[in-house]
Amino acid sequence: MNAGSRVAASKGVSFSKSPVLAVRLPTWRSRVVLFVLFAAFAALAGRALWLQGLSTQFLQKQGEIRYARTIELPATRGKITDRNGQVLASSIPVKAIWAIPDDVLQAPPEKLRELARLLDMSEAELRKKLDSDRNFVYLKRQVEQDVADQIAKLKIDGIDTRKEYKRFYPQGEVMTHVVGFTNVEDVGQESMELAQQKNLVGQTGSRRVIKDRLGHIVEDIGAKHEPHDGKDLVLSVDSKIQYIAFTQLKGAVEKFKAKAGAAVVLDVHTGEVLALANYPSYDPNDRRALTGAQLRNRVMTDSFEPGSTLKPITVALALDKGKVSPHTAIETGNGRLQILDRTITDTKAHGVITVQQIVEMSSNIGTSKIALSMPAQDMWEMFTKVGFGQQPKWGFPGAVAGRVRPYKSWRPVEQATMSYGNGISVSLIQLARSYLMFARDGDTIPLTFQKSTALPAGQPIIKPKTAREMREMLEMVVSGKDGTAKQARIPGYRVGGKTGTAYKVENGRYAMPRKYIGTFVGIVPLSAPRFVIAVMIDEPTQGGHFGGQVAAPTFAKVAENALRASNVPPDSTVTEIVAPADTGSEAM
């Protein structure tokens, strides 16, 4: 054994005859390696302690997010019915189709094409929806059950459904401006669906579950809170009367080639709105082509100058104040009245006529002279008492207040023109409500869109004697030889009412060339009033434009059918039907 081998053996190091394998590591290097390994294990131990001891709650929450879900249990929205229990809106179960994009895109092309067809979309549109970084996307909401069943049969991984409800409206366009509609989230958007959202929607429930990667429920892990369905809503409308009002209004708009029309029927005793119709209308079950003109609820949201339909209110005030009686004679001259720089005209020279004839013939001059005999404040107070210029509180969204300027700013000519409905704006339902004081012996009551079980207390506006005298005058407008509403007559029933024709205002000015709004407000049957019915025809272009020509005959058809549908007995033996040649013209 040589000297080198003996040295290596003495140090306890194995050796080889090859000098390449000789150990030549310095002592400090092995110590550094040992320290690094120790530090690494210490860091790992510290990290483990941090994760398992101090971050347990956070990590459990993060893990739960990846497999636990809270499923919403939708509540069924309350039904809406008419006063007789006829269903106007109900919720039907449907499905929402959702997807995990990455999984669905693995499906065979032919299955994706079939899925797109069932969802009523192109394959490109489907792939665009699936081209998402999210792990959850809705493909389509409110899918009918039979379509959802066909989609399930495709057995595409990553496709699942969620239960929801779709609103269905059996009476379609006939009732839509009363009932309204909901959006895809079942939230009311218009009319009573919007106004009664809190009561109708109910309270959703929830269920805590574990889902696998494909979205399948594996296990319930939490408490289940049952949903509470919404309350049913019973409206004041009568489906029969609503259908009558809508169909007759639609026929009138088409007959007179008008831009639009509106009608409302009120119950004299309870203030219930029995019908509210607008045309054009729309089908709430299919709103893909819905336009603003169809959506507008003209009865509630459109304000216009009422024209001569306001004259009975001015005359009633004068009668109540003792300024005139029905037989007071007033000089109307040659049909022209000059007030400073303005000229008020009648359709022809009437000369000396009574107050009753002023209403019957619709004299602007006679009404102006009556108005100027009273303080402007008295007229303003009368207008506000009947609700003009006041924000309605009927629980119906979008109802306008109209416009009545403060009386202190009225000039004499403005007081005169307001007396016959120019320079003031109202909605059709406000106008109809104002006539309740004539039908109810001098008082008025709030309107309601929900079925009423009690008679409301009335607010006195005029004396009962005044109301009775006004009913007699309104009857002469329809039945008198010089009346402007002969086409409002109904065989077998006494009718009272007033026509109105006004220039249409656009952008703050009277439209040029002239556009007209024809109106009629009537009370039937006059011996024992049951209904107040108001009709408005917007921009008639054929067959005349006066209220007596376009609105009065529409009123007659609505009223006649409504009286018979409600089994109201006739109160007259008159069977005369007015010839179509009657012009129904009036002063404007």
Interior angle at CA 232, CA 444 and CA 283, nearest 5 = 85
Strands 80-81 and 233-234: parallel
Phi/psi of residue 309, nearest 5 degrees: -65, -15
- 99 forms beta bridges with 137, 159
Give CA 170 to chain center in angstroms.
Answer: 17
| Best CA proximity match to 265, nearest among 81, 531, 566 | 531
Q: Please compute Rg for the chain using Cα positions.
A: 39
Residues 405, 433, 385, 500, Cα dihedral to 10°: 40
Instruction: Retrieve residue 448's tokens.
Output: 């309601």
**CA 185 – CA 195 distance, rounded (Å):** 16
Taking a C-beta distance cutoff of 8 angstroms, is the pair 502, 588 a contact?
A: yes
Residues 235, 450: contact at Cβ < 8 Å? yes
H/E stretch holding 459 reads strand 459-460
Contact 299, 355 (CB under 8 A): no
- The pair of structure tokens assigned to 136 is 């959850």
Evaluate whether 265 touches 533 at the Cβ level (below 8 Å): yes
- Give Cα separations from 543 to 177, 252, 257, 329, 347 (angstroms): 27, 10, 9, 35, 19
Contact 285, 169 (CB under 8 A): yes
Mapped onto helix, strand or coil, the DSSP state of residue 398 is: coil
Q: Which helix (H) or strand (E) holds 161?
A: strand 159-168
> Which residues in 292-359 belong to E strands, given as ranges?
303-304, 329-331, 336-339, 342-345, 352-354
d(CA 196, CA 174): 20
Q: Per the structure block, which two tokens stand in for 538?
A: 């917007």
Show which residues are catalytic: 308
CB 339 within 8 A of CB 416: yes
Burial of 130-156, coded b for 16+ CB within 10 Å and e otherwise, reads beeeeeebebbbebeeebbeebeeeeb
Q: Contact 158/215 with Cβ under 8 angstroms?
A: yes
Strand partners, 210: 68, 219
